[in-house]
Every structure is written in C-alpha cells, then in structure tokens.
Structure 1
Amino acid sequence: MKNKLTFLALALSAIFLSFSGFGQKIQLKKVADLNIESLATVGIRDYDPAKDEYLGFVDKGSEGIELAIFDSNGKILISEVRRGDGPNYYSSSALTMGFAPDGGIYVQTSAELLKYDREFNVIKRIRFEPKFTTVVYSGPREKFIPLSKADPISFLIGVSNISGMALGLEVPSKVNLIDYYDPNNKSVRSIAPLSEREVFKGYGDEKFPVSINSIYALNPQENLLYLTTTIDNEITVYNPINWFVVKRIKVKHEEFKPLDDLPIQESNFRTSGRMALYAKNQKLLKFDSDLLGLIYVQGESEASYESRKNTDKKSRFRDPDFYRLILFKDGIQLPGEHTISSGMIEMPLPNNRILVKVSEGEVELDYIPYEIWEVSEN
C-alpha cells in the first residue's frame, strides 16, 4: 500500500528546538531527505559509511520479507527473501541485522547467527540453544550488536525492547537483562540481574507489577555496551570483555510517572483495562562522538486514550509528538528534551545525525520517505 504523508509534515520547519530548558545549546536540524523506492513497508537497521549504503528489509506481506541494501539515493540495490529452507536460508524470525567490519552482513534469529556476503549468500552460521524463542511479524527489529571485534565472535542474543528478556510479571532476582553468546564454550550466558538496578530494589523476591524489557546500544569504537530498561532512571555502561561496570549515567525525565514514587508501587502504572498508559523508555542512541541519546514515550491520561480509541486516532506509540529525546554528553545529561514531529527516530548515523522515518499521512506517495537530522551545538 502506498505510503502517505500529511501536508503538516511537509510544512514543518527544517529546524526544531526543544520546548524546554533555559539556555538550550543543542539544536536538531533537518539536513537531508532519503526516499526509498518502494511501495511496500521498509525498515532500515544499519549504515555503511564507506560505501554510503543502508541495510534493512522490504516487507512484501504474503510474498515474504526481503533483506535489502539501499543506496544513498533510495534505490534498492539488492533484495532477497531468506526465510525458508535451503543453504542460504534461516527458519525462524530474523531479529537483528547489521554490517560486519569486513563488509559482510550479519542476520540473527532466536537460534542462530548467519553471516552473508552482499548478495545474501551464506558465508557461515553459528547455531546456539536459545533460552526462549522470539517471533516478530515483519523484518529485523534492531541493529545486530557484536560484543567482540574478531573471530570467534561474541554477540548479544537479546533484542532491544522486545518482550522476552524479562518475561511477564517475573521475580526481578530471577531475571537477567543480558543474554549473550560465549564463543569459548559455544553457549548462551546470562548476567545483569534486574533486582540489582536501583529502581527495582525491594522487588527481589516478589513479582514486579508490569513486564520489563531491556534496551541496548553499542559504542563500537570503545567496545562498550549501554543498558537500560523500559522503566528506569539509569543507563549502565559495561565492558563486555570482563563485564565490569564502566559508568552509571543518571537520567531525569521531565514526565515519567512510573518513577514519581520510589520504591515503585503498582499504583505508579496507569492503565485502561489491559492497555498501559504510563511512560516507557524506548531506545538508546549512541552517536560516534561523546553524545548519547535516550528516547522515551510519554504517558497518557485515560481520557486521552479513550478519545483516541473512539476517533480511530493512531496509538501514542505511533505518534511522534509523544516521543522525547534526552541527550547526554560525556555521561552528563544536557538540559531540555527534544521532539521531531515529522516522524519516528529509527537509528543514529555518523556525524551526530539521526535517521527519521516520516509518519504516514493523507498524501499518497510512491516511495517511503525518510529524513536525516543533525544534532549540533550552538
């Protein structure tokens, strides 16, 4: 189905400044467009600056999910279905994907890691016994996270913000937030108990009132793993070689009612029936400088939720106006929060840039529109 775009999004200013924070020195500025030549749904998960190419997928519905490479003009250079039977195929949902340092492509499922060449022919695969199986109904959800730079490779098994790392209403002392493949014993290992995080203290031996998902980002230059959770006020930085904690970065949200009262109570989590209305952390962005970003979605009142439901308006999780970007420099939170109203932030790019997938609207297009924004200091 053709993508749509509202006239409002087209008329947005190229520069959006944070509404909050006196003396704000950070500016978000649109610097380019990227229009992918596709009528089908597209996702982009990684970028290769050496070749100026993007890695992602094209979701053709009943025809399957095609793994794809796009050039900087939005042209599809190659796209291939790789779920199925055969030497070049995987049999379960692809969860993450990313470019390898040597130019190859990694694709990870719940039970194996495949390395492809740029024609999507398998070079090698690593099979492992998963602790649980994750199913997604479109293409890979996140960028692949390697934890070592050389073979034999260690890598993260969990996927950011997907249920499974902390399943349902679990006892925090029995939940580990990091699962990774250990090439030395060729198995999956688990670390980082949920109960050790500051906001979850007191829930060690009793069930937490809501489900919690892990959120990750990698600093490939320094080989550091960043971890937070959907309900959290800390970003923890690990050295994945020895799993020492390198740094703890404190987070102060402008609006995050689940953490208004500590220790956390069940009453902190506003719901309407089975629908969660409370704020949640959504994504970590590690830029190639000393900048780090945390995206969270604001909470919603029950009246607002009912109004959306009754008027068929999109969910707040698909509404960019509900999303806030917090920035950190050298581990210190910068003033203010930022919003990009034209769409959803998909991933960080080199040179402190951000790839934004433009929201659908009323104007039918024969391409999938993206925008590239830049974070700069005045």
Structure 2
Amino acid sequence: MEIKKIICILTLIFSNTYAFAQFKLQKTSEFSIKSLNSVEIVDYDPIKKQYIAFEKGEKDFVVLLLDEKGDILKRKELQGQGPGEINTAMNFLGFGEGGNIWVITTHQLLIYDRNLELKESKKFALRNPFLTFFNSPAPVYFYKGNGKENLVFATYPSRTARFMSVKSFDNQSLIELFDMKSGKEYYLAPISERPIYKHLDISIKAMYKPLFTMNKKKDQLLVTSTFDDEITVIDLQTSKTISKIKINHGDFGSFKKFPISRENLSSSGINSLTSQNSTLLHLDGGMIVLDYFKEIPKNTFEAKIKEDKYYRHSFDPNYHRIIIFDEEKQLSKDLEIPHGQIKIAMPNNSILVKLINPDEEEDFVRYGVYQITK
C-alpha cells in the first residue's frame, strides 16, 4: 500500500513539473520603418502609442521617435560635447517619468521632451562606470519609498559582460543599482547564491552575463544569467527575494560537463557554440518570457561561416526558443519564434519582434507584434 502511495505522489510531482500548457504566438500587427540603417526599438509608450529607438549606422547616438505605424516623428543625433549631447555611451534609452525620454550614460541622466530637446541633466558618479555600445535598452528604475524624491536605477544594461576583469565570482553580484539620494551603488543577486555557482569556472567570465527585467507595477526585479537555470524575483523596495522559478530548458545542451569552463564548452576557434539565455521580459498580464538559443553543432557552424563570415548562431532565429512562466512556475515547453529577434514587451501579453528576411536585403526595417495565447 505504501509503495502505491509513493508511486502516486511521484506521478503527481512529475505531472506538475512537465505537463505544461500549450501556448502559441499570433501576429496581431506589422509595420515597416523606412531606413537603410538598422533601427533598434527599445521602448513603447502605450498611451501615446509611440516607440523610441536608435540607429545602428555610421554615426553613434542617433535617436528616433516613431509612431505605431513606423513613421519617423523625430530623428536626432545626440553625439557631441555640448549640453544634452553624449560623448561616452548611451547605456540606456527609453521613456521615463512623465512621458519624457531618458538617456542614462556612464555619469549622467539626461531628460528630453518628445522633440528630443534637453529639459534636465542630473550628474552622478559611479566607482566602476561601464561603457556599452549598440545595447541601449529602456532604463530599469524605481523610486524608493512612497514619493518621487529617491530615484534608483540599474547602472548597466541586461546582457552586459561586466565580469571580464574579475579574478573570482565569489564576491560578485548580478545586479548593480545606483541610489541618487545617497550617491552610492548597492548590489543584488549575489552569484554565490545562484544554483550553478559551484560549477562556474572563472574562464567563462566574458560569457557569464546578467539578464534582468522589471515588473513595474510591483517594483520587482526578475533576474537570471546567460548560463542559469533559475529566475529570481526580488522586491526592489526591500531587496528581499520573493520567489525562485526553476527553468526547464528543452535543449540547453552546453552543460554536459562540469565545471562550466571554456575547456568544457563547445567552440570553433574563438567562436562559442554554446547554448545561452538571451532575453528576459515581463508582460503586462503577469507572464514572463525567457528567450534562449540552443547549442549549434560544430560542423553546422563551420559550414554556415564559410557562406557568411559574420554568422553567429546567437543571431539566428532558427536556434532561438522561448519559454513562458508566471511569477511562480514554468508554464510552457520550448516555443519556436518568428524569423526575427525578440525586442521588447508590448501590451496585451505581446512581444515585439524585429523581422528578418533571410533571403534578401531590404531597404526598410520590419517589425511585428505577436500576442502569446493558449
């Protein structure tokens, strides 16, 4: 009788872990941006139905304001030495308080109106400023306490290789926040508390990157890393961990040997062939989306790089999968994504995807909005 009870309990545990609901991605809209340069959308204002983006081209720090049809409302180059201009790095770009446009650099918060005219500049001093290039997501920020006097923000973007110069992971944390009131940094999500910590070798420090996003309604930070199998939910007001969500990847084949080191991870020359977590998004309905890419076989990679010397499987949608979670558990198995790159969360449990035509170069940039439904 006892054996039957044990078998029944194990069956229930197994079912709760692996019997995931079926989800699908349904395209609800598509738009094009007339530009010969790559346009990277980083934030969306659901009230005015406008996007903020930057160009990847010959000039740095070119910011675009777009309507929901992709028409350019305002385009301005912010590079320079004058007031409201940038000469270091545009670490963050997006919509901030009051519908203004925020840019966070290595040493100042720049606040612009919708015409990209400077309204205000706030300086700060970081002990270890980090310059990022071609990675300018929306700011991750909140106000500590009940008022709007104590602004706190992340100092570097998600998926930043910030551990390249460290000699050990022992005293490092995934998240660095800056408190404008105190003028000091503080840290969350110590690496020593990650499930994979004991398996990490310092040789992968350039590949081990924090991934994080924010639940703005609840002032919660969702944190993982490129190699992690857990999403941690942290209350930003108290800095306490609320929950830990286990990730069950469908095909995270890089981690067949321990320790997790360069020697044990698949590669071809200087190119990594490993699987990695790539993007973490929080949707307005409470769902969490994790985008990761699978490991690529060495012979497949070497065949592709002969055709295109710039090929990287991390940019190939065929190797990307997404997994859906709520704020406590995993809800889905791996889902294939449209042929493109997942960019930002959108209203109505939707995501914005930069669409890519693998067969031809286009003289415009296409985006599609996909709703996640059961």
TM over 0.5: yes
Alignment of structure 1 residues 1-378 onto 2, 5 Å = 24-62=21-59, 64-138=60-134, 140-148=135-143, 150-164=148-162, 166-167=163-164, 170-201=167-198, 207-211=202-206, 212-261=208-257, 264=260, 268-312=264-308, 314-377=311-374
Instruction: State the alpha-carbon separation in 2 of the partners of residues 235 and 180 from structure 1.
Output: 18
Instruction: State the alpha-carbon separation in 1 of the partners of residues 247 and 216 from structure 2.
Output: 22
* Distance of aligned partners of 1:23 and 1:247 in 2 relative to their CA distance in 1, 3 Å threshold: closer
Instruction: State the alpha-carbon separation in 1 of the partners of residues 167 and 233 from structure 2.
Output: 24
Judge which range, 324-333 or 223-232, deviates more.
324-333
Q: Deviations over 1:244-292 (max 9, x none)?
A: 0011111011111344456646554112222211111111010001210
Instruction: State the alpha-carbon separation in 1 of the partners of residues 87 and 277 from structure 2.
Output: 31
Judge which range, 346-355 or 115-124, deviates more.
115-124
Q: Deviations over 1:209-252 (max 9, x none)?
A: 44311011000011100110111001111111221001111101
Percent identity between the two aligned chains: 26
* Aligned-partner residue type, residue 215 of structure 1: L
**Residue 352 of structure 1, CA deviation:** 0.7
* Aligned-partner residue type, residue 52 of structure 2: L
**SS at 1:333's partner residue?**
coil
**Residue 134 of structure 1, CA deviation:** 3.5
Compute the TM-score of the two structures, normalised by the length of structure 1: 0.86
**Residue 23 of structure 1, CA deviation:** 7.3
**SS at 2:352's partner residue?**
strand
CA RMSD for the aligned pairs?
2.2
Q: Where does structure 1 lack aligned partners over 5 or more consecutive residues? A: 1-20
Instruction: State the alpha-carbon separation in 2 of the partners of residues 137 and 172 from structure 1.
Output: 24
Instruction: Indicate if the aligned counterparts of 1:128 and 1:187 stay in contact, CA closer than 8 A.
Output: no
User: Which of 1 and 2 has higher RCO (CA within 8 Å, sep 6+)?
Assistant: 1
State how many pairs are aligned. Answer: 352
Instruction: State the alpha-carbon separation in 2 of the partners of residues 224 and 354 from structure 1.
Output: 20
**Residue 364 of structure 1, CA deviation:** 4.6
* Distance of aligned partners of 1:270 and 1:169 in 2 relative to their CA distance in 1, 3 Å threshold: farther
**SS at 2:142's partner residue?**
coil
Instruction: Indicate if the aligned counterparts of 1:129 and 1:188 stay in contact, CA closer than 8 A.
Output: no
Q: Where does structure 2 lack aligned partners over 5 or more consecutive residues? A: 1-17
Instruction: Indicate if the aligned counterparts of 1:284 and 1:294 stay in contact, CA closer than 8 A.
Output: yes
